Chain A
Amino acid sequence: MAENIKTANYDALVIGAGIAGGEAALNLANNGFSVLLVEKDLSIGGKMILLSKVFPTLDCAACITTPKMSEISRHHGITIFTGSEVQKVVKKSENSFEAVVIKQPRYVVEDDCTACQLCEQACPVVVKDQYQYNLVGRKAAFIPFSIASPRVAAIDIENCTLCGACEKVCPTKCIDFTMEAEEYHITAGAVIVATGFRLFDPLKIPRYGYGQYKNVLTSMEMERQLAPTRPFNTVLRPGDGKVPDKIAYVLCTGSRDATVGNPICSQICCMYSIKQAQLLMGSLPMADVTIYYINIRSFGKGFEEFYEQAKGMGVNFIKGKIGKITEKENGNLILRYEDINENKLKESEHDMVVLSVGVLPNTDAAGIFREQKLEFDHLNFVGQKDPLASPAETNIKGVFVAGTASGPMDIPDSILSAGAASSEAMRYLIRK
């Protein structure tokens, strides 16, 4: 590998290609700066590209994300590395960073793949599909998801049995098992960290039964069931395929909860749960949807109106924290909670429970910055050096943070934060 090192030079290096990283890259490129956008995953788009519709406007997420992503992927000022990771970044001097980027092999020649899916059909290996949040399966030779960008096949080498079936059927002969990781040495004038967030893992709250009771799912799994590119074409209980008619939402799962180490509010889950409730009322008109909450935090532009609209549509809101969930034989779930309005402990039965999991920091960027370390705040989000006057600045001059890498945010706020990061990077690059 070492003998095959490639070098390249860009004005800015953007790490993470979710909506924040994408937006920042686009702003820079539209103003004439060259950008290398490095994404760990096989597709750009981050979490947003996998969402159903987005609050508070209820535009379909794909409809907003795909044109942005295709603009990004075709912009001549932007180079994209998917399936790649920034191994290290060292600041040499002002306006000069050196980075090592490793591009993992996809085992498919991107430019030649036509996304015909013949390899997918031929592959005998079935594993869980992470892009559908494990609701269904996929093959080891696969196109990540229908609106992925690039929409190109990849071989999941961990699960591949090297049977060669895909190679045989590929009409353009673009599958290449000899591909190796490529190492790039990059110089860049500025860096934007847009590595996003992680979702809370509900296994940490065993009393909610996630992973044990089949009909308890996370909000992201529900998001996939509601998306236009959804796996089942309708909403189903994973346990038995029954269409649910009494669905409960458990807000603040893993947020505002010091006992699981996350004392802060995740800022998005009230709103996305209200959104999902509205979508459920649309697709399952007979269903009952109940949201169990501590406080409803619909604070942004148009959010309170969105909450009122949900109440008007008949979504039930119950103020009370869920203590424990148990499963009945028929797969239904019993929720025990303290009903604050009535000031007593109660139980209710639902046939599907959605855990509105919260936002956790992604600390990936911690190990990347060598010599001068990137500072994180006490909650492990990327630290903002001057949150009031320059929210995108970090402790390293020339390194900026965009989107949820610095704390929970919805999409509109992530986009504005990315706007700020790109603006600061431009200023830094111009001022040199």
Chain B
Amino acid sequence: MNKKLGVYICHCGGNISDYIDVEKVKAAVAGEDGVYLAKTTMFACSDATQKEMVEDIRSNNLDGIVVASCSPKLHLLTFRAVSERALLNKYNYVHANIREQGSWAHSDDKAGATEKAVSLVKAAIAKVRLARSLDPIIIPSKKAVAIIGAGVAGMRAAIELADMGCPVTLVEREYFVGGRVAQWDVMFTTNQTGKELVTRLYNEVIARDNITLLTGAEVVANSGSIGDFTLKIKVTPRYMKEKCDQNNLLKAIEACPVVVPDDFNFNITSRKAIYHNFPGEFPQYPVIDIKNCTRCGECEKICSSVDFSQQEQTVEVHVGSVVMATGFDPYTPAEGEFGYKLSDFVVTLPQFKRLTDINKDNLVYNGREIRNIAYIYCVGSRQSEGDNKYCSRYCCTSAIHASLEARNKFRNVNNFHFTRGIRTYGKQELLYAESLRKGDVYLQAYEENPPLVEVKDGQITVTINDIMTGGREISVIPDLLVLVTGMVPRADNSIASKFKLPKGRDSFFNEIHMKLRPVETVIDGVTISGACQGPKNITESVNSALSAAAKSYSFVNKGELALEPIIAGIDKDLCTWCGECEKACPFDAIKKEKQGEKEIAVINNSVCKGCGMCLPVCPVNAINLIAFSDREIESMIDALVSV
């Protein structure tokens, strides 16, 4: 029972020691029962200190160590590795967070912060005295990955994983792949078209045997956990046979009496209930939009490929890891927001992109030839009042690129940009310079004083107090007003709750740590990529998709995984199965099981995260959390209050 312990108290280069007297902490804990050595160090995480710790543990045969430094979120793994290198089981190291919970929280009270640090370290010492060696739980990991969303991010990740020898199920909710990029014509910064890019990626996807692409498909249920997820995927049929005669098809489309807004064109045009989006979109065969179809049967009469007998299917896939690539929605302005919906000549940037694609020689919209175009930037982004505080990062460049494209493609176009300060970061700056050189007009206001849009008798007037000319009031009467709308999370993001994915302040999916673990989520085995994590252009989306692919690959490539042994355990004799713990578990790790005569709760070791939610609800105290037993916690509390 008499453990030999080492205690290390970190200055964190001043982050801690500017507020906490680390020498005093050392002195206060050095005499604690079992403490064989206590040291302070400038950076506990530095190479030299790590070496020293290994040396200390080995040469003194220490049975446990306490490191008092920053949040264990940053360095738990670092010091566990130190223990392992010293051949000390890593669960005999206990961390005390005296930075986030000490120096940073109490920078106004140095004495108090020091006192608190002493208590925290003493509590950690109490815990390490009771610590036991533990072995990781080894589970098999299925060498297969599911990717949710077949936009550029999803397709790119799929190709990568497939080439690394990992089978992929690529699940796309729409009937066509490519996501948003399929909707863009000429794009920054390469001037390739979205169609070209999507065509290339689609061809690569279907050329690979180990990618299964499901379109019209949605995950309806998810169970299991890292190494072994089971996804139930509902696949809605196209109600069309694969090969179809183009001639009859066009006639059938003509015959369809149902007209709905075409969301591929962001509703600036309409389509029928039977439709396709070629040549841009893949797979290149049509769909009957069953939600709007009235089953009148007109198309069936003309085209033999129509097949209403097709049935919805549910597919089950087993994978070791899941990559989220569900992308974003363009922001939809509220009615009246900068004139939106008040005039037929107020459109969003995505609509404008479609408009410049659809029009060939002249830019004509709603019968009007468009010459003077005004752009209002940051609509739905950088809101001082609304929820979207963030900058959408793609839109300055995209708007400038689209306006240049309009200038190049159509005659007599004049562009007036109403900005909040242009953000063409990096090499994108060259587009801004080009736009200025070509004579586009740039006006700017701050958020307190945004441009004003008035619609009167069909005429739009945009007025700004332009800070570039000393606040002069300038008005423009454009033929078309483009609202440069930002990116928002998908409106239907129910997928998040199926995977219990956390969201950040901006409501996009959140990574664990922007720099240390940028594509991982708190749900082990689920990675995030592309614009579902936050606004990104294509290059940035693909960089994150490839990073996520590599990360997911590392979860599955060895065929097995080592999991944390710090999980809950049930005392069979005490458990009376009341079901309270099952309700409390946020990860569905607890199930009822019959053991002999008795029904008891059983914990799935690979799903349990050791969060402890089940512990307090058990009326008979039958649950024990390994490494956080009542005895350990009570000893810590005793240490905390004894000071």
* Chain A residues close to B by CB (< 8 Å): 27, 30-32, 54, 56-57, 59-60, 62-64, 66-71, 73-74, 115, 146-147, 149-151, 227-229, 256, 258, 263-267, 295-305, 308, 319, 340-344, 379, 387-392, 407-409, 411-413, 415-420, 422-424, 426-427, 430-431
Q: A115-B48, A228-B15, A297-B425 are in contact. Are A388 and B197 (CB under 8 A)?
A: yes
Question: Of A63, A71, A424, A430, which one neighbours B74 at CB under 8 angstroms?
Answer: A63
Flag if B550 contacts A267 (CB, 8 Å): no
Flag if B427 contacts A423 (CB, 8 Å): no
Question: Of A151, A388, A427, which one neighbours B538 at CB under 8 angstroms?
Answer: A388
Question: Of A64, A150, A265, which one neighbours B429 at CB under 8 angstroms?
Answer: A265
| A69, A149, A227, A417 interface centre (most CB from chain B within 10 Å) | A417
Q: Is B136 an interface residue (CB 8 A)?
A: no
Q: A228-B15, A304-B390, A413-B543 are in contact. Are A66 and B46 (CB under 8 A)?
A: yes
Complex Cα distance, B544 from A431, in Å, reads: 21
Flag if A427 contacts B504 (CB, 8 Å): no
Question: Of B43, B421, B514, B519, which one neighbours A301 at CB under 8 angstroms?
Answer: B514
- Tell me the nearest residue of chain A to B547, going by C-beta: A419
Q: A60-B13, A301-B514 are in contact. Are A70 and B78 (CB under 8 A)?
A: yes
Q: Is B50 an interface residue (CB 8 A)?
A: yes
Complex Cα distance, B595 from A177, in Å, reads: 74
Flag if B546 contacts A67 (CB, 8 Å): no
Q: Is B409 an interface residue (CB 8 A)?
A: no
Complex Cα distance, B48 from A69, in Å, reads: 12
> Can you spell out 27 A-B residue pairs with CB atoms less than 8 angstroms apart?
A54-B515, A56-B514, A57-B514, A62-B43, A66-B46, A68-B516, A70-B47, A71-B81, A74-B81, A146-B42, A147-B43, A151-B46, A228-B12, A264-B430, A297-B425, A305-B505, A343-B471, A344-B470, A388-B190, A388-B542, A390-B542, A391-B539, A391-B543, A392-B546, A407-B427, A408-B426, A415-B518
CB neighbours of A297 from chain B (8 A): 423, 425
A346 → chain B, closest Cβ, in Å? 13
Complex Cα distance, B201 from A204, in Å, reads: 45
Q: A66-B46, A69-B47 are in contact. Are A426 and B164 (CB under 8 A)?
A: yes
Complex Cα distance, B15 from A407, in Å, reads: 33
Name B495-529 residues within 8 Å CB distance of A.
Answer: 504-506, 508, 513-516, 518-519
Q: A412-B514, A412-B518, A423-B550 are in contact. Are A265 and B43 (CB under 8 A)?
A: no
CB neighbours of A267 from chain B (8 A): 425-426
- Tell me the nearest residue of chain A to B187, going by C-beta: A388
Name B43-88 residues within 8 Å CB distance of A.
Answer: 43, 45-48, 50, 70, 74-75, 77-78, 81, 85
CB neighbours of A299 from chain B (8 A): 391, 393, 423, 425
The 6 closest A-B pairs by CB, nearest first: A419-B547, A228-B13, A343-B470, A420-B546, A423-B550, A299-B393
Flag if A424 contacts B546 (CB, 8 Å): yes
Complex Cα distance, B45 from A67, in Å, reads: 6
Complex Cα distance, B64 from A16, in Å, reads: 38
Q: Is B422 an interface residue (CB 8 A)?
A: yes
A143 → chain B, closest Cβ, in Å? 10
Q: A304-B389, A430-B165 are in contact. Are A407 and B538 (CB under 8 A)?
A: no
Q: Is B189 an interface residue (CB 8 A)?
A: yes
Question: Of A256, A298, A308, A389, which one neighbours B201 at CB under 8 angstroms?
Answer: A389
B207-237 interface code vs A (CB 8 A; 1 in, 0 out): 0000000000000000000000000000000
Name B1-30 residues within 8 Å CB distance of A.
Answer: 12-15
Name B173-215 residues within 8 Å CB distance of A.
Answer: 187, 189-190, 192, 197, 200-201
Question: Of A146, A295, A308, A411, which one neighbours B422 at CB under 8 angstroms?
Answer: A295
* Chain B residues close to A by CB (< 8 Å): 12-15, 42-43, 45-48, 50, 70, 74-75, 77-78, 81, 85, 152, 156, 160, 163-165, 187, 189-190, 192, 197, 200-201, 382, 389-391, 393, 421-430, 433, 467-471, 504-506, 508, 513-516, 518-519, 533-535, 538-540, 542-544, 546-551, 553-554, 557
CB neighbours of B469 from chain A (8 A): 343
Flag if A387 contacts B550 (CB, 8 Å): no
CB neighbours of B428 from chain A (8 A): 265
CB neighbours of A430 from chain B (8 A): 163-165
Q: A27-B550, A319-B467 are in contact. Are A411 and B515 (CB under 8 A)?
A: yes
- Tell me the nearest residue of chain B to A115, going by C-beta: B48
Complex Cα distance, B48 from A243, in Å, reads: 33
Seed contacts A57-B514, A71-B81; 5 additional CB < 8 Å A-B pairs: A147-B43, A265-B425, A416-B519, A420-B542, A423-B553
CB neighbours of B77 from chain A (8 A): 67
Complex Cα distance, B303 from A113, in Å, reads: 82
B539 → chain A, closest Cβ, in Å? 5
Complex Cα distance, B425 from A284, in Å, reads: 31
Flag if A62 contacts B515 (CB, 8 Å): no
Flag if A305 contacts B389 (CB, 8 Å): yes
CB neighbours of A408 from chain B (8 A): 425-427
B566 → chain A, closest Cβ, in Å? 21
Flag if B547 contacts A423 (CB, 8 Å): yes
Flag if B550 contacts A301 (CB, 8 Å): no
Flag if A59 contacts B515 (CB, 8 Å): yes
Question: Of A74, A147, A308, A341, which one neighbours B471 at CB under 8 angstroms?
Answer: A341
CB neighbours of A424 from chain B (8 A): 160, 546
Flag if A296 contacts B43 (CB, 8 Å): no
Complex Cα distance, B393 from A353, in Å, reads: 29
Flag if A387 contacts B539 (CB, 8 Å): yes
Complex Cα distance, B534 from A73, in Å, reads: 32
A201 → chain B, closest Cβ, in Å? 20
Flag if B190 contacts A427 (CB, 8 Å): no
Flag if A70 contacts B546 (CB, 8 Å): no
Flag if B515 contacts A412 (CB, 8 Å): yes
CB neighbours of B557 from chain A (8 A): 31-32
CB neighbours of B433 from chain A (8 A): 258, 263
Flag if A305 contacts B390 (CB, 8 Å): yes
Flag if A66 contacts B543 (CB, 8 Å): no
Flag if B553 contacts A31 (CB, 8 Å): yes
Flag if A67 contacts B189 (CB, 8 Å): no
Flag if A64 contacts B74 (CB, 8 Å): yes
B220 → chain A, closest Cβ, in Å? 30
| B164, B393, B519, B547 interface centre (most CB from chain A within 10 Å) | B547
CB neighbours of B426 from chain A (8 A): 264-267, 407-409
Question: Of A70, A344, A426, which one neighbours B45 at CB under 8 angstroms?
Answer: A70
Complex Cα distance, B533 from A416, in Å, reads: 13
Complex Cα distance, B15 from A305, in Å, reads: 23
CB neighbours of B81 from chain A (8 A): 71, 74
B459 → chain A, closest Cβ, in Å? 30
Complex Cα distance, B81 from A73, in Å, reads: 13
| A56, A151, A426 interface centre (most CB from chain B within 10 Å) | A426
Flag if A417 contacts B425 (CB, 8 Å): no
Complex Cα distance, B547 from A30, in Å, reads: 13
| B152, B506, B518, B534 interface centre (most CB from chain A within 10 Å) | B518
Flag if B12 contacts A387 (CB, 8 Å): no
Complex Cα distance, B187 from A147, in Å, reads: 44
CB neighbours of B429 from chain A (8 A): 256, 263-265
Flag if A264 contacts B427 (CB, 8 Å): yes
Complex Cα distance, B470 from A344, in Å, reads: 8
A194 → chain B, closest Cβ, in Å? 14
- Tell me the nearest residue of chain B to A233, going by C-beta: B14
Flag if A420 contacts B47 (CB, 8 Å): no
Complex Cα distance, B14 from A56, in Å, reads: 20
Q: A60-B15, A389-B542, A423-B549 are in contact. Are A379 and B427 (CB under 8 A)?
A: yes
B569 → chain A, closest Cβ, in Å? 31
